[in-house]
């Protein structure tokens, strides 16, 4: 579980996060949504320990980051997995080498041991028999699977995903969403996903946090998002093509 209390973060005198307080539970897919520039990525980077908030605290299963020693903070960061927007695989490395990379960086395991774990996670994301392929030789959806395998290879307690669906067709996007949800439940991870995608909200939004201009404007789950009368949330929901059509049909009494 990650508990965020009143965090503030700014750059060059401009306040980007203006006091966010919320909780992200373990074993659940937590989504951060909001318009472009609302501070979602900055928020994610604060939770990844890449940005230091000027005020407030972030607590990971009882451990408040700012109270930890440098070494403890490093240990905690090693318990975090990240799926980057666009997958961010190393182009010149094979699938196997990409997935093995965090094990080489953070553990002292023998190569054979690493390989067992790499094959285990590649099988979990349904990517057997692709070990020796380069990222350029596999599809965008497969690249995302590799990115997920790489993020979970070290058995993280926390998984952060920045726009994991960007660039995928809607069908593949749903498959990737559900893969992240299944892995979250199976391994009991605290997963936090930045997204613009209303399909993701409907598919896997167990907790949704809506940011607006660096404030937490609304939070709830996927069933509540259609019942809220919060204008900013409603505007966001119905600006998606899918739900715009539904609402237009409702307004026409169809």
Residue ranges that bind ligand ATP, judged by CB under 6 A: 11, 16, 34, 36-42
DSSP, collapsed to helix, strand or coil, labels residue 194 as strand
Closest distance of CB 34 from ligand ATP, Å: 6
DSSP 13-59: TEEEEEEEEEEE-TTSEEEEEESTTSSHHHHHHHHTTSS--SEEEEE
In the complex, least distance from residue 236 CB atom to ligand ATP, rounded to whole angstroms? 11
Residue 225 and residue 208 in contact, taking contact as beta carbons nearer than 8 Å: yes
Q: Between 46 and 103, whose beta carbon lies closer to ligand ATP?
A: 46
By 3-state DSSP, what share of the chain in percent is helix, strand and coil, each rounded to 5?
40, 25, 35
Residue number with CB closer to ligand ATP (52 or 126): 52
205: alpha, beta or left? (left if phi > 0; alpha if psi -120 to 50): beta
Q: Which is nearer to ligand ATP, 44 or 95 (CB)?
A: 44
Nearest distance from C-beta of residue 124 to ligand ATP, angstroms: 29
Closest to ligand ATP by CB, 50 vs 116, is 50
* Closest CB 144 distance from ligand ATP, rounded Å: 18
């Amino acid at each position: 579980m990650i508990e965020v209390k009143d965090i503030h973060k700014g750059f060059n005198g401009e306040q980007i996060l203006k006091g966010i307080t919320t909780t992200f539970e373990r074993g659940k897919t937590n989504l951060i949504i909001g318009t472009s520039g609302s501070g979602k990525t900055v928020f994610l980077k604060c939770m990844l320990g890449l940005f230091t908030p000027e005020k407030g605290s972030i607590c990971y299963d009882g451990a408040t980051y700012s109270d930890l020693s440098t070494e403890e903070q490093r240990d905690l960061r090693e318990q975090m997995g990240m799926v980057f927007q666009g997958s961010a695989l190393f182009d010149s490395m094979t699938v196997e080498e990409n997935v093995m990379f965090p094990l080489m960086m953070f553990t002292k395991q023998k190569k054979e041991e690493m390989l067992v774990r790499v094959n285990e996670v590649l099988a979990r994301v349904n990517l057997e028999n692709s070990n020796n392929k380069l990222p350029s030789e596999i599809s965008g959806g497969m690249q995302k699977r590799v990115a997920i395998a790489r993020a979970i290879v070290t058995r993280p307690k926390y998984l952060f995903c920045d726009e994991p669906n960007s660039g995928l067709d809607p069908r593949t996007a749903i498959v990737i969403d559900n893969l992240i949800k299944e892995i979250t439940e199976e391994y009991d991870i605290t997963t936090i996903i930045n997204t613009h995608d209303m399909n993701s909200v409907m598919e896997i939004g167990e907790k949704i946090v809506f940011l607006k201009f660096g404030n937490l404007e609304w939070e709830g789950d996927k069933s509540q998002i259609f019942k809220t009368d919060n204008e900013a949330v409603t505007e966001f929901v119905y600006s998606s093509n899918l739900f715009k059509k539904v609402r237009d049909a409702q307004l026409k009494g169809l």
